[in-house]
Structure 1
Amino acid sequence: MRLFPIVLLAEAKLKNAGVNSVDELLDKGATPKGREDLAAKSRIPGTQILKFVNYADLFRIKGVAGQLLQAAGVDTVSELAKRNASNLQVKLREVNDAKKLTGKVPSERQVAAWIEAAKSLPKKVTY
């Protein structure tokens, strides 16, 4: 998978910092020290690196709509794991109606599957 549906504009900077895939971004940016190093090498602000890493972490969940989740206020796997499927699906629909991020909003069943997957994933990102 290309590194950056996440960060198209930052792709060259991250590649220069030695990040060539979503998996590498997650591995190298999983810790505060790793994100600090990536920020220094790429000259991308640390806050933005953290957003990219959190987005990459969400990609570990099969079929997840990361951009839609983030627009609905779900930025991390641990946040997703704490959500109620019905409430989140309603929020995703509202956000998508307003922002037109995707052609099809995930069903409540899909959202419930994402939440269960998030609960079972090993924690990767530390803060």
Structure 2
Amino acid sequence: MSKSLKKLDGLDPDVVDRLRAAGIRTSDKLLEMTKSAKDREALSQKTGITPRELLRFANLADKLRVKGLGAGYAELLCRVGVDTVRELKYRNPAKLAAAMRQENEQRKLVRLVPTEKAVGRWVEAAKKLPPKITYR
């Protein structure tokens, strides 16, 4: 589901402004414009945002394709070491839910921590998604 860039956790207003100036206003457009290393390099030249940061933002946007996974949860997943959809599909839901609960107690990123069942649905949904980002 496409979201406004303003709704993506982890993007400060300056970054949002630079991406908007490059014609990117939604998470879907961000994902489309950052899908390959070559695309990220070209966008970096336009925006002054490093390719590494663009990849992090692309991975956040990519996680929004997982049914039921919102922007806050996408950022929380990053905080527990799940940076990509590809990584999510190999995770143990019970361990991942526990890690997210522990991390959220410290950082207070989301109001409601997802249940193990919800995390299990995300893992299964991630397994069904075709890849959108290349990493080389």
Tell me, in whole angstroms, the C-alpha distance in 1 between the residues paired with 2:41 and 2:24: 14
Identity of aligned residues (%): 40
Between the aligned partners of 2:17 and 2:108, the Cα distance in structure 1 is 28
What whole-Å deviation, never above 9, does each CA across 1:22-47 have from its counterpart, x for those lacking one? 10000010111111111111111111
1:62 CA displacement: 2.1
1:3 corresponds in structure 2 to 5
* Distance in 1 separating the partners of 2:7 and 2:82: 18
Gaps of 5+ in 1: none
Name the count of aligned residue pairs. 127
Asked if the contact 2:37–2:51 (Cα under 8 Å) also holds between the matched residues in 1, the reply is: no
| Alignment match of 2:115 (pick from 97, 107, 121) | 107
Work out the CA distance in 2 between the residues paired with 1:21 and 1:67: 17
In the other structure, the counterpart of 2:24 is: 19
Aligned-pair CA distance for 1:19: 1.0
Tell me by how many angstroms 1:101 deviates.
0.9
How far, CA to CA, are the matches of 1:39 and 1:61 in structure 2?
26
TM-score, structure 1 length as denominator? 0.95
Q: TM-score, with normalisation over the residues of structure 2? A: 0.89
Structure 1 residue 18, shift from structure 2 partner: 1.8
Instruction: Give RMSD over aligned pairs.
Output: 1.0
Stretches of 4+ aligned residues off by more than 4 angstroms:
none
**Distance across 2 between alignment mates of 1:85 and 1:49:** 28
List runs of 5+ in structure 2 lacking aligned partners: none
